[in-house]
Structure 1
């Protein structure tokens, strides 16, 4: 037997992580799925050859526990499994706004916890996750959490004080990108293109631009200047965006997301 991982919560992120762990080579029989809806757990586990169990039974045999439930359900879940958490177990939470202090308060004293903020591109193994260790998490356990979440994309380790910013940038970030893509497609239709053509143009342009940033390592400002010929079409468009204060709107929006993330964090007790 390898490392036994209990996934508590079979929603979008829980099922996404399960599928990725199987793809990355984990033995499905080492993966145990639990959910408040037993039918949902059975369906998700069955799709990947994993096992199912009640939450407390899953935790009792686990080396790593992944908490993938809604933030408002977290306290009740930890009360249910508290007595089954074994010494040395690593607990990883991917619930928005749940702090390591909150987790440590509701779990047995000395439990190693890691707070993680993934995003929805994890569905296609292109996620971005920020992780922060709790007080009792060893370097080896932190690396274990990092490897676990690398199965769905890239991972960075950072101080927990930055987690609200991570939520605002990468956690909520896909929503901003989809919003911009939607607007660009609508503009294409307005300019007379068929919707499927506009969609193909916009999506490939987005993919290509993101790939340029990643592969060249060039600052986005430099890349923007390279496509902005004096007196050209890009400069005219960018001037219109500046006139409408789009940059300022993004800053305000992301500040609002970070503020809301902080508001959603429950007190430790």
Structure 2
């Protein structure tokens, strides 16, 4: 891999650039970035990572092994329209645009070309993203390996059929917010039982890290791990009884289902916007 180009320079693009540079997958000068008009942002990325910022699209895209579409989803038609004349049928487009299908990307590019649809999450910023990847029929084995390597610099990856991307969005794409919501509740509970805010934060973070590590390293399912720390008549059982009374588990299940359904609705709405019925 010799060159990657980013169309869009927002937080996800920066998280990926940081991961790529810190992992030494590529040097900063092998990464090119553009956006609509924010030169200050491009200058900032150059100062931090040594990347090339440019509004010369021919220079930006020439010889790129992968072109990362990292603009806002509503800007897909404009963004792809501006670069399509510089794309060849061997150019791999990697989209982190929620709701934009690989088929629509090909239609906007007006040519058949390799397209990867990626659904990372905001934990990419700290190198802990869980990224779902879906490829179209034009992606080669070499290109598949390239895109996997790129996203492994910001966390773990899983290839799925594109029909599962909405489910990935509902589960792990939106997932960090569910955990933050839980942390908020634990912090409020800690305050009400008289614990210092900073101490409570440290205890909560370590508890979550420890529990996640247990799930990751143990062959036991989460249900069994939970049962093993729930002594009859004990404190854990008392707390879990309250959660069950509020049907918290089903609330989380329905939360994930609704987020998945919303991802599908947004995708349909965006598709209708890109290709309105005449």
Regarding TM over 0.5, the answer is: yes
Match of 1:229, SS state, is coil
Q: Report deviation, 1:55.
A: 6.4
Q: Partner residue of 1:231?
A: 233
Normalising by structure 2, report the TM-score: 0.93
Q: Partner residue of 1:22?
A: 21
Give deviations 1:47-101, integer Å, cap 9, x for gaps. 1111111262312342210011110111110000010113311110011111111
Match of 1:122, SS state, is helix
Q: Partner residue of 1:155?
A: 157
For structure 1, which segment, 42-51 or 54-63, has the greater mean C-alpha deviation from structure 2 after superposition? 54-63
Match of 1:40, SS state, is helix
For residues 89 and 46 of structure 2, the distance between their equivalents in structure 1, rounded to whole angstroms, comes to 26
Q: Partner residue of 1:53?
A: 54
Query: Alignment partner for residue 110 of structure 1, among 104, 112, 131?
Result: 112
Q: Partner residue of 1:34?
A: 34
For residues 235 and 101 of structure 2, the distance between their equivalents in structure 1, rounded to whole angstroms, comes to 47
Q: Partner residue of 1:79?
A: 81
Give deviations 1:98-124, integer Å, cap 9, x for gaps. 111111111142210000000111111
Native 8 Å contact 2:99 2:266 kept in 1: yes
Structure 2 spans left out of the alignment, 5+ residues: none
Q: Partner residue of 1:188?
A: 190
Alignment RMSD: 1.3
Structure 1 spans left out of the alignment, 5+ residues: none
Q: Report deviation, 1:253.
A: 1.1
Match of 2:153, SS state, is helix
For residues 236 and 94 of structure 2, the distance between their equivalents in structure 1, rounded to whole angstroms, comes to 45
Q: How does 1:208-223 map to 2 (within 5 A)?
A: 208-223=210-225
For residues 38 and 105 of structure 1, the distance between their equivalents in structure 2, rounded to whole angstroms, comes to 30
For residues 12 and 123 of structure 2, the distance between their equivalents in structure 1, rounded to whole angstroms, comes to 10
Q: Report deviation, 1:247.
A: 1.0
For residues 217 and 133 of structure 1, the distance between their equivalents in structure 2, rounded to whole angstroms, comes to 30
Native 8 Å contact 1:8 1:55 kept in 2: no
For residues 23 and 164 of structure 1, the distance between their equivalents in structure 2, rounded to whole angstroms, comes to 30
Q: How does 1:120-135 map to 2 (within 5 A)?
A: 120-135=122-137
Native 8 Å contact 2:89 2:111 kept in 1: no
For structure 1, which segment, 202-211 or 84-93, has the greater mean C-alpha deviation from structure 2 after superposition? 84-93
Give deviations 1:207-251, integer Å, cap 9, x for gaps. 100011111232101100010001111111111111101111111
Aligned residues: 268
Moved over 6 A (4+): none
Give deviations 1:109-161, integer Å, cap 9, x for gaps. 22100000001111111111000001211222112111111110000000011
Q: Partner residue of 1:98?
A: 100
For residues 11 and 121 of structure 1, the distance between their equivalents in structure 2, rounded to whole angstroms, comes to 14
Native 8 Å contact 1:83 1:108 kept in 2: no
For residues 155 and 8 of structure 1, the distance between their equivalents in structure 2, rounded to whole angstroms, comes to 22
Q: Report deviation, 1:195.
A: 0.8
